[in-house]
Structure 1
Amino acid sequence: MRWARDVPLGPLVRYRIGGPAARLGRPRSIRDLAGALRDTDGLAHRMLGTGANVLVGDAGSRRPVLVLDGEFTSLRVDDEAIEARAAARLPVLAGAARRAGRTGFHFLEAVPGTVGGGLRMNAGSREDWLWDRVEWAEALTPAGELVRLRPEEAAPAYRRVNVPADWVFVRARFIATPGDARAIRDAHLGFRRRKVRDQVYELPSVGSTWKNPGPPHPPAWKIVDEVGMRGVRIGGARIAQRHANFIVNLGDAQAVDVLELMAETRRRAQARLGIRLEPEIHLWGFGRDELERVGAP
């Protein structure tokens, strides 16, 4: 596998924002990936799927970036399960389950991203999470060891799993029980209609900006609304009118515009409501002070 240098990341992420990656590689096999992890020479790498929940800084990423390709895009349906590699798209997984008449995957309709990213952040809705469907998942360690994890070992929770950050998910087997084909189709299409109606798809965004803080607090979108940030614009970025937990790129946004909207929202939420918002999106290429302003780990 060859590394490319100074690759623009904006075209590779859903926000269409961000500077270049100092190095970017596209492993097409487990062997390629193991070699790429060795090549990083101890530098913490970053994994990029569709960039569905990533804000890249205007200066880009100095860390090596890996985009899985080739054999990692495959997906297979068998009698009782669906096996998918990490670069398979979540909408493709949902579509395969719908067409095969398998229950339990409707919540992935219109959810961008890949299986690998979905496993890492436990993608899903308020009621259903991806790890609810996992029989096992496999990850490659920086040492080149392939580890199989059961859900109880990964300890999935809201938007996270207890798996080392430098392990790379490569494959998973999902429980896919046959069911009534018509009911499954209706569940999928109904969920998709609601998401397209309530969320923002016509402008670049990365979905929910903030994690829901949990009881007794209201959901994040309501907090943003209550502190008067719905519709606020800075530069080329704006907090969406339709869904206040989305920040959209109006066409010429820079990462600093999004960051300033996040910082002001968080400042107001803490000052007025005593709530400390935490980003749901991942931020690449920002300094410690910038991350602290928006409550990023």
Structure 2
Amino acid sequence: MVVRSVEVSFHVKLREYTTIGIGGAADRMAFPRSPAQVREVVLAEGAAGREVRVLGAGSNLLVADGGVSATVLCTRKHLSKVVFLSDETVVVEAGVMLPRLAVLCALSGLSGMEPLSGIPGTVGGALSMNAGAYGQSIGERVEWVEVVDPGGEIHRIEARAIRFGYREAEYPVRGIVVRAGFRFVPGTRETVFEQMRQMNERRRSRQPWGERTFGSTFRNPREGKEKAAQLLERAGMKGEREGDACFSVKHANFLVNQGCATAADVRRLMSRGQSAVRVSCGVLLVPEVKMWGEFDV
């Protein structure tokens, strides 16, 4: 790393940075403090011929046991500024956690983040895959997104130029999300907090809250009325395990690390789930989880 102004750690255990608590090491991890420092890292690593990967909260990520030969750019530690403007617009850096943004909006009397308030991810990660819950996705609230492209240029992209789909977002410029502008609607603190409480209470009652998990393992199929969890349960995968990796008995689409599960355990269990659903239900489940590194399965 040739950018001396950026905080860097070497041989970082990525299991300590993922919500499922699994994964090998990264060669190095950079912790930029601003979009400008993201640009510096991208330029320096590009000049050195090193791959850059972006890590937010690590809530939708499986890292191989052998780790990754790359520079991991961690947004969560320092890219955490939130600025409220006078016209219900909020400017947010990529490392801000969604629950924190939801609470800050509620305190400011703004509504719109309630459905996303229980997602343990960052704004940057959410915008990269159009995260959502309870029928709403983050793409519905964003006004513009700033990204740093591989050449180090910073682009502000209007929301209308981004193709948001179910758990996917296609940007006209490939790059790293560093900041975004959102527009919310006026509300009262009491009403917004009550809606958040109800949604998160519902989430806790149906999901393995507090356990080490990705969140959803597979996307819900586009065709048919059954969700991934229902298909996995119908295929007999609820509660099935490989080593210490297990499909939750509370919600079959949540894969839980119940001890010292390895990435190989998780990948084998995911493959078993896909095969079982394909045979029993005739549906191919597509992983929602991103995978870094090399896997045998």
TM-score computed with the length of structure 2 as normaliser? 0.92
User: Residue 240 of structure 1 corresponds to which residue in structure 2?
Assistant: 248
2:131 is aligned with 1:123: yes
2:233 is aligned with 1:225: yes
User: Residue 66 of structure 1 corresponds to which residue in structure 2?
Assistant: 73
User: Residue 23 of structure 2 corresponds to which residue in structure 1?
Assistant: 18
Cα shift at 1:69: 5.5
2:115 is aligned with 1:107: yes
Give CA deviations for 1:152-174 in whole Å, capped at 9, x if unaligned.
21111111111278501111111
2:99, 2:119 within 8 Å by CA — same for their partners in 1? Answer: yes
Aligned residue runs from structure 1 range 1-297, under 5 A: 1=6, 3-41=8-46, 42-68=49-75, 72-79=79-86, 80-163=88-171, 166-287=174-295, 290=297
The one-letter code sitting in structure 1 at the alignment partner of 2:254 is: F
Identify unmatched segments of 5+ residues in structure 2. 1-5
The one-letter code sitting in structure 1 at the alignment partner of 2:265 is: D
The one-letter code sitting in structure 1 at the alignment partner of 2:15 is: G
Give CA deviations for 1:110-132 in whole Å, capped at 9, x if unaligned.
21011100110111114100010
Identity over aligned pairs, percent: 33
Cα shift at 1:182: 2.6
How far apart, CA to CA, are the structure 1 residues paired with 2:76 and 2:276? 42
2:162, 2:172 within 8 Å by CA — same for their partners in 1? Answer: no
How far apart, CA to CA, are the structure 2 residues paired with 1:125 and 1:135? 19
User: Structure 1 stretch 196-205 or stretch 33-42: which is displaced more?
Assistant: 33-42
Q: 1:65 to 1:124 in 2, by over 3 A?
A: same
Cα shift at 1:70: 6.4
Paired positions, count: 289
The one-letter code sitting in structure 1 at the alignment partner of 2:138 is: L
- Indicate the SS of the match to 1:280: coil
User: Residue 293 of structure 1 corresponds to which residue in structure 2?
Assistant: none
Identify unmatched segments of 5+ residues in structure 1. 291-297
How far apart, CA to CA, are the structure 1 residues paired with 2:7 and 2:205? 42
TM-score computed with the length of structure 1 as normaliser? 0.92
How far apart, CA to CA, are the structure 2 residues paired with 1:218 and 1:177? 33
User: Structure 1 stretch 73-82 or stretch 168-177: which is displaced more?
Assistant: 73-82
The one-letter code sitting in structure 1 at the alignment partner of 2:71 is: P
RMSD after superposition: 1.7
